Structure 1
Amino acid sequence: MVKLVFVDMDGTFLDSEKAISPENASALDAAASLGVMFVPCTGRNLAGLPAELLHHPSVRYAVCANGAVVADVATGRTLREVTIEKDLVLDLYRRLRDRPITFDLFADGTVYTQRERYPLIDRLELSDATKEFVRGVRTVYDGSLEDQLARIGDVCRLNVFYWRDEDRDAVCELVDSEPALRRASSLPCNIEITDRSAHKGAGLRWLCDHLGVSAGECIAFGDGDNDRTMLEAAGDGVAMGNATPEVKAVADHLTSSCDESGVGRYLAPVFAAIAGQAASGPR
């Protein structure tokens, strides 16, 4: 029986306007009534999750920062965190600092962006809703990255926004040359950098072990490159209708797009079957 449902946020559980559809909201309520836990599994920080999820009884845990952080939603306590050495962060920055890119630091449950790089967000080819979200979850700091690193805690993820292919290629080449790092992407103009061992699939497996649940008892939904390991790790990996071809290729099943409430539509018969089994009782 399904015990955990792992859901990516943007392009998956949230529609193009960053909203939770009524059908997806109904899936949350059904999960709560059946004792099934919903687990946001996202590149976002915990503070960047929609309030409707953070306060919903079906949501007790979240996998954040592309698997680098597993958090207890009710208390905000970090249960697991995989970090990037600050010396390595600084080395990457110094080798990329002259390029017109952002170099966002995920630390302390916050996304820190250098003030001089913040205006680059306006140049990105993203929807207005996505740009509004990106701006809204960033804390702008003045001064150098070197000084900022000294002020903040451990860094669990880096995000680079770019608008030129040459900058994308340079960042990818640099990250790929570092054995301690891995990269993924959730947007057509970003690169998400974590420790090699931090990805959504690893976060899923860690939480399953923590709760004593088999990965085979999990369903995972995703649409982007950073969701591939999660879909591969779950017993049932489901790609959205708007997913990339690479994600669809590793999925066990497909569902409708995020704008067609694909998560809710897929789960409706699954939850109905669970409810039916519970109503019939043991035989």
Structure 2
Amino acid sequence: MILPAHLPTTLPLLMAFDLDGTLIPDAGREVAADTAQALARLKTLGVHLAIITGRDTPPSQVCRAMQPDAVATNNGGRIMVGEDLHSEASFSDADLEAVLAHELPGARVVLFTADTLYVDLPGDMKPEPWMQLRQYRPLTDAPRSGILKAGYYHPQVSDFAGRLRGTHPHLVLTGAQDPYPHFLTVTPEGAHKGAALTLIADRLGIAHDRTVAFGDSDNDEAMLEVAAFGVQVGTLPLLARHASAQVPEQARLGEFLHAWADRLQAAAPA
């Protein structure tokens, strides 16, 4: 793979990865062997690694393969640096009330706390496979505090997103557009991937101009925008303006990372 000439090759570097569609295939649970090998090389060379994902829990297989220095979940709303909880953003009572007033008949709704999912599955709708990996309870049992993220699945979810942006512009909304037109995620004020990347870099003592972000979807736009070097995985037009480099398909990420590790190794002092 041909890499751009301006690829950063001076340490320290912080590389932050989205999961679905970026580090792993959509709805996947394991890192490809060549990608895992490249990540191990990068860590050996002194690169710091982070996961910044919309998921509420990264797969254990991914964490074992990557050994990340930091993990941000819920689109950056919950941040762990090493074994320490750095921050956790939850909705205020008023914001949660607005988020739940969705007016989407038949919508599938999921509320996330740190340890439980609260799910509304209308009609004959069955839980998604990822839900069955977590403890989940009926939406009617959800508490009114400690809610970290809300997710909606409905054909008209973009209409609700537009109304919520108008009445509560401080909330963070992703989805409701390509590549997820029927899926909307809402997180509290300030809970987005760009803020997570900045906070992780600060906690690890890495200058912001030494940060690299990898992403493929609209919820990655914030971290690609603030990263010193953005890598787009895939071809979503929305991200192109933030990308310093592109991996055209997720299956080629390992090849790209190995080539970067080669550059870092070549630039290292003898």
- Report the TM-score range of the alignment, normalised by the length of the smaller protein: 0.7 to 0.9
Given residue 158 of structure 2, which amino acid in structure 1 is its aligned partner?
Answer: R
Match status 1:44 vs 2:69: no
Gaps of 5+ in 2: 1-9
Give the aligned length: 256
What does residue 129 of structure 2 align with? 132
Q: 2:229, 2:92 → 1: CA distance?
A: 34
State the identity %: 23
Q: 1:85, 1:233 → 2: CA distance?
A: 27
Q: CA shift at 1:155, angstroms?
A: 1.6
Q: Is the 8 A contact 2:117 2:134 kept in 1?
A: yes
Which residues in structure 2 correspond to 1:1-283 (within 5 Å)?
1-2=10-11, 3-16=13-26, 18=28, 19-45=30-56, 48-56=57-65, 58-73=67-82, 75=83, 77-93=84-100, 95-96=101-102, 99-114=105-120, 116-117=121-122, 120=125, 131-133=128-130, 135-142=131-138, 144=140, 147-150=141-144, 153-162=145-154, 164-165=155-156, 167-185=157-175, 187-241=180-234, 243-258=235-250, 260-262=251-253, 264-278=254-268, 280-281=269-270
What does residue 7 of structure 2 align with? none
Q: Is the 8 A contact 2:14 2:212 kept in 1?
A: yes
TM-score normalized with structure 2 length? 0.84
RMSD between superposed Cα atoms in Å: 2.4
Q: Is the 8 A contact 1:107 1:156 kept in 2?
A: yes
Q: Secondary structure, in 3 states, of the residue corresponding to 1:230? A: helix
What does residue 4 of structure 2 align with? none
Q: 1:54, 1:5 → 2: CA distance?
A: 15
Given residue 159 of structure 1, which amino acid in structure 2 is its aligned partner?
Answer: G
Q: Secondary structure, in 3 states, of the residue corresponding to 2:91? A: coil
Q: Is the 8 A contact 1:223 1:239 kept in 2?
A: yes
Gaps of 5+ in 1: 123-130
Given residue 195 of structure 1, which amino acid in structure 2 is its aligned partner?
Answer: P
Given residue 20 of structure 1, which amino acid in structure 2 is its aligned partner?
Answer: V
CA displacement, residues 148-193 of structure 1 (integer Å, 9 cap, x when unaligned): 215xx5122111111x23x431243224421331201273421111
Q: CA shift at 1:16, angstroms?
A: 4.3
Q: Is the 8 A contact 1:112 1:138 kept in 2?
A: no
Q: CA shift at 1:108, angstroms?
A: 1.8
TM-score normalized with structure 1 length? 0.81
